[in-house]
A and B are shown apart, each in its own frame.
Chain A
Amino acid sequence: MPVMLRNRSPRGYGATAAAAAIVASSLLVLGCGTADTSAGSPEIEGTVLLPEAGSPFVAFDVWVQVGSQDDPEGKEGLAALTAALLSDSGTTEHTYQELLEQLYPMATSYFAVTDKEMTTFRGVVHVDKLEEFYRLFRNALLAPAFRQEDFDRVKAQTMNYLENGRRFQRDEELSKELLFWRVYRGTSYAHPEEGYVQSVKALTLDDVKAFYRDHYLRNNLVVGIGGGYPTDFPQRARADFDALPEGEVARTPAPVPAMPEGVEVVLVEKDTDASAISFGYPIDVVRGEDDYYELYLANTWLGDHRNSFSRLYQVIREKRGMNYGDYSYVEAFPLGFTTQERPVNVSRRSQIHEIWIRPISLTNETDLHDRTLFAIRAAWRELEKLAENGLPREEVERTKTYLYNFAVTFGSTTLRRLAYAIDDAFYGMEKDGFLAEVRPAVQAMTPEQVNAAIDEHFQAQNMVLVVITRDAEAFKKKLLSGEKTLISYAGEQPPEILAEDQEIATYPIPVKEEDIEILDILEVFEGEAPAKAATPAEPTESQ
């Protein structure tokens, strides 16, 4: 069975590694780790190894080359539900209860994460407990029992998340999911990994079994092991996984999202005192390709995750105190509110440039929409300035210094280093890898290269905008009117801020009425994506 790995094009050459560069390979020879080659593990097909002799921990990261993009139509959420069931239920050797009993004294467990293109099963154990843990972990993937009662439990938890939690726990995360849904409509990336309410409701245990049978194949998964394991361990582990059958997996083509034509807007009606905002557009650069590091650096300047010096944060939070933070991304970053660390194992063949404005609160009963629109305008204006003007030399140098130093914190744990190595394999970067490359790449890049990448890939004309707010109809009118939306401050502001406010408050966001769609919160992700610019739904009571 051929597996697809992206071949990385050499940096500095003109050719870009677009979708056409994906090559078929009959093997996953991903070889030895980069951390401690002195451990001398032999190369073992279908493994990613990261030996760290003397470490008291052993980390596992088994990568199954399947993701939500592979969900059959009408069965959105199946890949994720399959992985959830495998990671949280009994095996042919143990019931779920017995598993809990055995894992508990080790103070560990394993978990599965399903993203668009990859599903990973991960866990870390103290080396004292390696054999006991590994047996349970292995069985989860190789010997699932598929008991109906386990399925019912996991599905009920999933349904509760889809019907309630996703809509009512974190509006800011929901706005990001809606952004991806809208940018990727009509493609395999459109639906959220967890699926829609209606699609998951219809899933059965037989669906899961079939999905497992078709995708959990010996030649469709990579066994990642890192830390202080015995030298003979990987050979043994890989042999265990080779007990899975071989088979053909039809590879879902990479999505090719259409660039929005002008500004397309999704508004969600919800009873709230604060608006959640995301906007963005597709870009055609992913890790391992030309311009990747340059864009990464330019975006770091614009909106590095949870870092206070970046431009969006400075303009919206630091100087104006409008919200908790403002960031931007050139790679998917699910659950950004939970962590300051970069995500791992969310590798994708298509990415978007995403702006995340954290919730904007009202400060009196009438100013929520003015503040919301002001924040959107402020961020949009910064993006446009960057796209139009590029970065001055000194700003590039300042950001290079930061990123060069900061990158040493990326691989903070064995599991993270291992997960990065898995991502390297996804992107075809196994020779050096992201952690090894990022610092030299940053050091070597010139302002001219950075600005060329900005010029090539960043823009502010075509955009998808998502806002979750109260009285969405009123917000829609305000957005269409183009009216000035000044904000007031609790304290004195210097004249230069007030002068800039005048520009921000009238910054044009050209939207056509037919490009604005309003959804009630209870419609969000209920079923398959509505057609573009559907008739605005009547708001319904959310109680």
Chain B
Amino acid sequence: MQRLLLAAACAVALTIGAGAASAQEDDVGRQADGIFPFPYETFDLENGLRVYLVQAGAPGQIAYVTMVRTGSREEVEEGKSGFAHFFEHMMFRGTDKYPNYDGITEQLGAARNASTSDDWTRYYLVASNEYLAKIVDLESDRFQNLKYAEPAFRTEAGAILGEYQNSAYSPFAVLNREIRELVWTMHTYRHSTIGFEADVRAMPEGFAYSRSFYDRFYRPDNSVLLVVGDFDPAEAERLIREHYGDWKPGYQAPQVPAEPPQEGERKKVVEYPGRTLPIVTINYRAPAWSATDELAVATELLGPVAFGPNSEIYRKLVIEEQRVQFLQPNFGLQRDPTVVSIAAMVSDPADVDAVRAELLGAVEKARTEPVDPKLLEDTKSNQKYGFLMGLETALGTAFSLTQPIISTGGIEAVNDYYRTLDGISPELVQKAAQEILVESGRSLVTLVQGGES
């Protein structure tokens, strides 16, 4: 049954946004000034590197996380989609000082990896705190002195192709690609983080480009370092100042093309070559993530309130009539204006149009009626406890701070976000629906099994 649970979770793969909303209530505020419960120190180096030292997590362990505020969003050049992710792989290829990065982390017994999204690239190690000095040395070195030769680069390109192929054929992956390409005409959110397949296959030729990627984006003024866990902050600060002080600033922000306003509904039916039930999606253009903009925060609440498991439409389609196998709102926002979506897997292929009409009816209702105040408060509570539940491990704590860091450069916005969220009223959620859920900004994308369209 694990696999079945996962199949349901695959719906989440449709998420185009990544925002993690949270809420604060009087009965859970852990500190007078915000929800984030752990003490921390922060400082900036002269080169622009911002550092957070957070006392939290498992005894004896640390999570060491470097966030680079560059993801596939910054891949503006034609034919170079997927390079932020590819470059993340190359960061494990060593330096003159430590040619065998993997070998060293192996001996530390560190759990370590990295991941890349539209908006960020995130590197982590989790290890015993006795290795703090070694890890500061090792990580600061690869962020400043990474070195790899072209043959190794070309070889690693093959691994990216393999990664692409791991899931390229699932209906969710196919649908996600099609939504992006329909919604975006200019902005780099048009391509997924792993990149267009043609670009992935051409990656071996991109050695010079990869070096420029490092030069332009892997800079202290585009990075934030978090150390979370059980360690001596004074010692950590001393080590970090010593090892990162010479890192040269020089982030070159690319001109990410702005997406012009959408002027009219778009539609697409995608034929899936394997077996699947149909998936109906309704997608809308939406604002950028913000900790203080009420409309943005209300938009993130709108999704679960209007289409989540306690919404009227969910009860009708999933539970009572069982015409839909899952209904999933994806209303997380991103660094740039993004897309929010409602996705439903339909039990009977003949029912696709009727289900879509039902969903559009729920959209209309969200625009014309204020949401149930209790459901809104429950949703705030859900977001708040969801945030708190994510803080069980040092690594989870670091990861829970990703969106504020990527959007604002610091973690302080996490408390701002809760303050804003606290003040969101049913009327504000309705206002968000009226502004976001508009026909002219809508894209209807439906995936059906081949031969059934």
Give A residues with C-beta under 8 Å from B.
56-57, 80, 83-84, 96-97, 100-101, 104-108, 111-114, 124, 126, 128-129, 149, 152-153, 156-158, 160-161, 163-173, 193-194, 271-274, 306-309, 317-325, 334-335, 337-338, 340, 358-361, 363, 398, 401-409, 412-414, 489-494, 521-522, 542-543
A35 to chain B, nearest CB (A): 11
Do B6 and A335 touch (CB < 8 A)?
yes
Instruction: Please encode chain B, from 1 to 42, with 1 for each CB lying within 8 Å of some chain A CB and 0 for all others.
Output: 111111110100000000000000001100000000000000
Residues of B within 8 A of A408 (CB): 60-61, 109, 128
Total number of residue pairs linking A and B with CB closer than 8 Å: 245
Is B204 in contact with A491, judged by CB distance below 8 angstroms? yes
Residues 46-87 of B at the A interface (beta carbon under 8 Å):
58, 60-61
Establish whether residues B325 and A160, one from each chain, have CB atoms under 8 Å apart when the complex forms.
yes
Q: Given A309-B106, A335-B2: A170 and B155 within 8 A (CB)? A: no
A83 touches which of B1, B61, B158, B386 (Cβ 8 Å): B1
Q: Is the beta-carbon distance between B310 and A100 smaller than 8 angstroms?
A: yes
Asked whether A169 and B10 contact (CB < 8 A) given A97-B315, A128-B28, A194-B4, the answer is yes
Residues of B within 8 A of A100 (CB): 309-310
B161 touches A405 (CB 8 A): no
- Judging by beta carbons under 8 Å apart, are B170 and A412 in contact? no
The contact of B382 among A107, A113, A272, by CB within 8 Å, is A107
Q: CB-CB < 8 A to A323: which residues of B?
A: 158-159, 162, 165
Q: Which of B252-311 contact A (CB under 8 A)?
A: 273-277, 308-310
| Bound: A432/B352 CA distance, A | 56
Contact yes or no, B150 A359, CB < 8 A: no
The CA of A503 and the CA of B109, in the complex, are separated in Å by 33
Within 8 A of A (CB), among B170-187: 170-172
Most chain B C-beta atoms within 10 Å of own C-beta, residue among A173, A308, A412, A490 = A490
A361 to B383, CA, bound (A): 40
The residues of A that contact B308 with a CB separation of less than 8 Å are 104
Nearest chain B CB to A80 CB, angstrom units: 4
Whole-angstrom distance between the alpha carbons of A161 and B7 in the complex?
A: 7
Which stretch of B232-240, B388-396, B438-446 is in the interface?
A: B388-396
Bound Cα distance A413, B61 (Å): 13
The verdict on B138 contacting chain A, using a C-beta distance below 8 Å, is no
Check A490/B155 contact, CB under 8 A, given A111-B5, A172-B166, A401-B109. Answer: yes
Interface: B136 (CB within 8 A): no
- Give the residues in chain B near A111, CB-CB below 8 Å: 5
Contacts of B10 in A (CB 8 A): 165, 169
The 9 A-B residue pairs with the shortest CB-CB distance in the complex, in nearest-first order: A405-B109, A491-B154, A321-B158, A323-B162, A107-B385, A490-B204, A406-B109, A321-B155, A274-B165
The chain B residue sitting closest to A335, CB to CB, is: B2
- How long is the Cα–Cα vector from A361 to B166 in the complex, in angstroms? 9
Are the C-beta atoms of B388 and A405 separated by less than 8 Å?
no
Indicate whether B153 reaches chain A with its CB closer than 8 angstroms: yes
List 23 A-B pairs, Cβ < 8 Å. A80-B1, A107-B388, A113-B2, A126-B385, A153-B318, A153-B322, A163-B275, A167-B274, A168-B275, A169-B170, A169-B171, A274-B162, A306-B113, A309-B103, A317-B162, A358-B166, A406-B111, A408-B128, A413-B393, A490-B158, A493-B155, A542-B275, A543-B274
B106 and A491 contact, CB distance less than 8 A = no
- The reply to whether A164 and B155 contact each other, CB–CB distance below 8 Å, is no
B residues less than 8 Å from A274 (CB atoms):
162, 165, 168
Given A160-B325, A168-B275, A522-B275, check contact A126 B162 (CB 8 Å). Answer: no
Question: Quick check: B107 and A401 within 8 Å, CB to CB?
Answer: yes
Name which of B165, B168, B274, B386 has the most chain A CB atoms within 10 A of its CB: B165
CB distance from B157 to the nearest CB of A (A): 6
Q: Kindly state whether residue B127 has any CB partner on chain A within 8 Å.
A: yes
B381: chain A residues at CB < 8 Å are 104-107
Residue B384, interface by CB 8 Å: yes
Which residues does chain B contribute within 8 Å of A160, judged by CB atoms?
Answer: 7, 277, 325, 345, 347
The docked-state distance in angstroms from the alpha carbon of A171 to that of B277 is 18
- On whether the beta carbons of B150 and A107 are closer than 8 Å, the reply is no
Min CB distance A419 to B, Å, is 13
- Interface membership of B361, Cβ < 8 A: no
Contact check: which of B1, B113, B384, B450 meets A340 at CB < 8 Å? Answer: B113
Least CB distance from A348 to B in Å reads 14
Complex contact A491–B111 (CB within 8 A): no
CA of A319 to CA of B155 in the docked complex: distance in angstroms?
Answer: 7
- Report how far A412 CA is from B62 CA in the complex, Å: 12
Chain A residues with CB under 8 Å of B60's CB are 408
The smallest C-beta distance from A296 to any residue of chain B, in angstroms, reads: 15
Given A194-B3, A359-B162, A408-B109, A106 contacting B392 (CB threshold 8 A): no
Once the chains bind, are A308 and B2 in contact (CB under 8 Å)?
no
Per the bound structure, the CA–CA distance linking A101 and B304 in Å amounts to 12
Q: Which of B150, B151, B325, B377 contacts A157 (CB 8 A)?
A: B325
Question: How many angstroms from the CA of A403 to the CA of B107 in the assembled complex?
Answer: 9
CA distance A320 to B156 in the complex (A): 8
| Cβ–Cβ < 8 Å partners of A173 in chain B | 3
Query: What is the CA–CA distance of A157 and B164 in the complex, to the nearest angstrom?
Result: 27
By a CB distance below 8 angstroms, the chain A residues around B5 are 111, 113
A168 touching B388 by the CB < 8 A rule?
no
The reply to whether A168 and B171 form a contact with Cβ atoms under 8 Å apart is yes
Interface presence of B246 (CB below 8 A) = no
Verify A402–B274 contact, CB threshold 8 A. no
B154, A321: Cβ atoms closer than 8 Å: yes
Q: Which chain B residue has the least Cβ–Cβ distance from A84?
A: B1
